[in-house]
Structure 1
């Protein structure tokens, strides 16, 4: 039984188990459709989108070998999990901090360890922006250090909060459907469809934003 509105984002809300996390694996069922001999319009559109994003990531990473493929895989994982949450009775795994933080923290930590071990002077130079007055240098070091440390948290919170916000709005509007008149019910259905289209756009935008930001963080270490 649902105790509060936020319990729909609890991975253990189904029969007291964590079966909701299986939604992250259901996306594997979509992969075989990409191996048909005759490409569909959907696969052609997906290939064009992937190629465009690959070229953009390749420019940001300065043509690093294999790095664009890593971030492309991250984009696909987040995008598919975001879209799976739009289906009824399917848990949105990317709305949980344990999922989003598990994606951002290891990548950010690996970039930081690689940078501070192999490019120590280069990492120190990022703490003081060019042209900073000498009086402000200690403050700038503190500000840049704090902003660097909170990066994985901001990435995780941004993705989770954006996925939760739309789903909460859809749930709040849907729960009022039984007490509305026929005229207001039609308006509610139309608004729900428009919100669903908005959530589809948010699913794409947030996966893109997450991927581009983590790519920019890696490019700061490599540049």
Structure 2
């Protein structure tokens, strides 16, 4: 039962030894050149408005000492995650963001780069973050240990949060759809309406989790400067 249930998250499409599922992450790249030849529409205006709003918000979270153009990294990160989240809601499309292989590939290099930059260029500030202001002298060793552990698990919490939320919704949709053939027509109508509502909820979760991932990454970067 559990094997067939979680098999929806396992790569299955392949040509010889080459797995094809992960290619779904790069489908959006093929549409980028066409955007330069298309006239502006309401969708492009809406998307540009969203990116501009995120740029201003991330710029506010980062302090004035941050490098120019730093927000581009986090806006791009949001765009990549929200694209893959919505792509995974389509039928027969591989949900790459439900796998730790992708989420860790996004969070771990970013966190590791921030740590190297912070400890090399802002060593004193990084040490100051280990002991919050006003901590009693007796509790300082414990605070250093707690802050160190909290810092080390940051990439893991980012990755697990995104993957777990995407897996939970897909599993719920799969479980409910599995009982469809055994239901009567009236119950099947109720199930269909429930599935539509859950799909709308999953669409909201796809946006929220992308936003949370990008905002937390921005906050981690703001602590370095």
Counterpart position of 1:58:
59
Query: Is 1:212 equivalent to 2:215 in the alignment?
Result: yes
Please list the CA deviations of residues 52-106 of structure 1 after superposition, one character each: whole Å capped at 9, or x if unmatched. Answer: 0010011112353121111111111111111110100001101000000000000
Residues 32 and 188 from structure 1, CA distance in 2 versus in 1: closer, same or farther, beyond 3 angstroms? farther
Counterpart position of 2:13:
14
Shift of 1:14: 2.8
Shift of 1:31: 2.5
Counterpart position of 1:73:
76
**Alpha-carbon distance in 1 for matches of 2:146, 2:114:** 19
Instruction: Tell whether the 8 Å contact from 1:21 to 1:91 is kept in structure 2 after alignment.
Output: yes
Residues 200 and 30 from structure 1, CA distance in 2 versus in 1: closer, same or farther, beyond 3 angstroms? farther
**Alpha-carbon distance in 2 for matches of 1:88, 1:47:** 27
Once the two structures are overlaid, the 10-residue window that deviates more, 109-118 or 97-106, is: 109-118
**Alpha-carbon distance in 2 for matches of 1:98, 1:219:** 26
Instruction: Tell whether the 8 Å contact from 1:97 to 1:157 is kept in structure 2 after alignment.
Output: yes
Where 1:221 maps in the other structure, the secondary structure is coil
Residues 32 and 186 from structure 1, CA distance in 2 versus in 1: closer, same or farther, beyond 3 angstroms? farther
- CA RMSD, 1 decimal: 1.5
**Alpha-carbon distance in 1 for matches of 2:176, 2:158:** 28
**Alpha-carbon distance in 1 for matches of 2:183, 2:193:** 14
For 1:88-167, what aligned pairs fall within 5 Å after superposition? 88-167=91-170
**Alpha-carbon distance in 2 for matches of 1:157, 1:206:** 11
Gaps of 5+ in 2: none
Shift of 1:37: 4.8
Detail structure 1 runs of 4+ shifted over 3 Å in the superposition.
Answer: none
